[in-house]
Amino acid sequence: KPVALWGGRFSGGPAPELAALSQSTHFDWKLAGYDIAGSRAHARVLHAAGLLSDDELAGMNDALDRLLADVESGAFLPVLGDEDVHTALERGLIERAGDDLGGKLRAGRSRNDQIATQVRMYLRDHARVVAGQVLDLADALIAQAIAAGSAPMPGRTHLQHAQPVLLAHHLLAHTWPLLRDVDRLIDWDVRAARSPYGSGALAGSSLRLDPAAVARDLGFDGPVENSIDGTAARDVVAEFAFVAAMIAVDLSRLAEEIILWNTKEFGFVTLDDAWSTGSSIMPQKKNPDIAELARGKAGRVLGDLTGLLATLKGLPLAYNRDLQEDKEPVFDQVETLTVLLPAFTGMVSTITFDTDRMAELAPQGFALATDIAEWLVRQGVPFRVAHEVAGACVRECEGRGIELWDLSDEDLAKLSEHLTPEVRSVLTVEGSLASRDAVGGTAPARVTEQIEQAKERSTEY
Ligand code: ARG
């Protein structure tokens, strides 16, 4: 039978409609293990403060052990009328330890500091899982970059052919943001690693409990500095939500490219059968559903972040019940990402690239025009003039329906006195790629270095 945690000043129980609105066990039951870990740490500080005898502490721990076992086996579950995970577990504790002992554990703590602590515990654990999965994806991209060798592709800006780049360079351009996302999670954890436990409802406790000891027990670096902040702040949750949204957006940008590359028109990639889906009516179809789900779910994960920020925006200090709305968005983000990432990584690691087609398209669309301009600059021609000359070459070719390398020596000479036949040295994809050899450039030697750097970074964690 459910027990409210706050019956004393009320003439009766809550209206059923209120109870239905108020109940959160359908989502916060996930925190049961963290709540019990918190209870164990709390029992220890109550004992240290002389508020539980040795026997009582032993009895409490025994009851908590049995409660945890029953939670894990599913033998103990929340019932209708258990307002939240904390309420349900207090009922479970009292059922096991009896009213007298079970009723002692709540001294000096509040659901406000409990929940603030447990959300951090949940997020810290799951941030590690997500970070590991993001690293798996980064590793899959690095492996594809290694396999791509010096294969070129059309590099694009505005989705138009811009300059040839190495396929490996492009794949690594998707890798670095993911490595930074992992950095973000690691950096976030520094701020998440402070325990609100001991903040009580908002003002701290008068019972000489030791928040630092609880923090240590629960794997935090230390307690929060301010009990009001400890119970009211959710910036740590929102910051996690941002990083989760950033991860989803980074995946979505790669997903969009995979979807394009997988079209007949691009024809850059083939997806592995095991990582694509068919159509219920069109027998020939093989669809990039993983990439599309990644793109779609990014919208939802982003919505989780904006919904949470909107919830926080108008809240006065300290705790308000609105804060109960912080959990579903981040739980949803965690559950979405942890299902999405392994599938996405499977798709990425089994993609085959049509490197012949990519190589053929790499120089097209006058993608070597910048190479003409930069070659002229190396001959001492001011860039403004060089840009004009290279533009004139493009105009000439466009008019005649030919490519830049089809211009004859006479054509070149007619276009500019500076255009000697030597310019042809840069009118190949290989020449163009090799010439972009500063740090971070797409020259094969630089990309090889970059692969080493990315490998090193991903194994550092
Ligand atoms: N379930 C609430 C939450 O998730 C914690 C309970 C606080 N309730 C209260 N009346 N102070 O935030």
pLDDT for the residue numbered 422: 93
Based on the fold, state whether residues 255 and 273 are members of the same structural domain: yes
pLDDT for the residue numbered 3: 67
The residue whose CA has the least distance to atom 4 of ligand 1 is 324
Find how far residue 369's CA is from the centre of its chain: 38
CATH number for the domain that contains residue 397: 1.10.40.30
Distance CA 92, CA 269 (A): 56
Distance CA 115, CA 295 (A): 32
Based on the fold, state whether residues 174 and 191 are members of the same structural domain: yes
Based on the fold, state whether residues 129 and 253 are members of the same structural domain: yes
Based on the fold, state whether residues 318 and 410 are members of the same structural domain: no
pLDDT for the residue numbered 280: 84
Distance CA 254, CA 260 (A): 10
pLDDT for the residue numbered 1: 62
pLDDT for the residue numbered 2: 65
CATH number for the domain that contains residue 87: 1.10.275.10
pLDDT for the residue numbered 278: 86
Domain closes at, from 332, 359, 386 = 359
4 domain residue, yes or no: no
Nearest alpha-carbon partner for 96 in 133, 127, 130, 59: 59
9 domain residue, yes or no: no
The C-alpha torsion from 8 through 11 and 13 to 18, rounded to 10°, is: -110
Backbone φ and ψ for 58, nearest 5 degrees, come out as: -60, -45
458 domain residue, yes or no: no
Centroid of ligand 1 to alpha carbon of 449 (angstroms): 52
Specify the length of the chain in residues: 461
10 domain residue, yes or no: no
The residue whose CA has the least distance to atom 3 of ligand 1 is 324
Residue whose CB lies within 8 A of the most ligand 1 atoms, among 24, 34, 111, for a mutation test: 111
The residue whose CA has the least distance to atom 5 of ligand 1 is 111
Domain closes at, from 107, 137, 158 = 107
Helix, strand, coil percent content, the chain, rounded in steps of 5: 65, 5, 30
Nearest alpha-carbon partner for 153 in 260, 272, 5, 1: 260
Question: In whole angstroms, how far apart are CA 271 and each of 257, 260, 414?
Answer: 13, 12, 48
Other CB atoms within a 10 A radius of the CB of residue 176 amount to 16
Based on the fold, state whether residues 376 and 349 are members of the same structural domain: no
The residue whose CA has the least distance to atom 12 of ligand 1 is 324
Based on the fold, state whether residues 158 and 269 are members of the same structural domain: yes
Mean pLDDT split into 10-residue runs, the chain, 461 residues: 74 89 97 98 98 98 98 97 96 97 95 98 98 98 98 97 97 98 98 98 94 98 98 98 98 98 97 91 89 98 98 97 98 98 98 98 94 94 96 96 94 95 92 94 97 94 83
Looking at the structure of the chain, the number of domains it has is 3
Task: Find the catalytic residue in 11, 26, 73, 158.
Answer: 158
CATH number for the domain that contains residue 265: 1.20.200.10
List the domain range (segments joined by +) for residue 67.
16-107
452 domain residue, yes or no: no
Question: In whole angstroms, how far apart are CA 310 and each of 117, 120, 165?
Answer: 22, 20, 42
Q: Ligand 1 pocket, 84 CB below 6 A? A: yes
Distance CA 84, CA 3 (A): 11
Based on the fold, state whether residues 253 and 232 are members of the same structural domain: yes
Q: Which residues contact 353 (CB under 8 A, 6 or more apart)?
A: 144, 148, 151, 167, 268, 269
Domain closes at, from 45, 78, 107 = 107
Centroid of ligand 1 to alpha carbon of 105 (angstroms): 17
CB 204 within 8 A of CB 112: no
Distance CA 213, CA 86 (A): 21
Distance CA 180, CA 458 (A): 10
Find how far residue 278's CA is from the centre of its chain: 28
150 domain residue, yes or no: yes
Atom of ligand 1 nearest to the CA of 114: 5
Centroid of ligand 1 to alpha carbon of 323 (angstroms): 8
Based on the fold, state whether residues 133 and 268 are members of the same structural domain: yes
CB 227 within 8 A of CB 204: yes
pTM for this entry: 0.95
| Token pair for 428 | 């190949």
Nearest alpha-carbon partner for 39 in 81, 2, 88: 88
Output b/e per residue, 408-438; b: 16+ Cβ within 10 A: eeeebeebbebbeeebbebbebeebbbbbee
453 domain residue, yes or no: no
Based on the fold, state whether residues 338 and 235 are members of the same structural domain: yes
340 domain residue, yes or no: yes
Based on the fold, state whether residues 228 and 279 are members of the same structural domain: yes
What single DSSP character describes residue 438?
Answer: S
Q: Ligand 1 pocket, 393 CB below 6 A? A: no
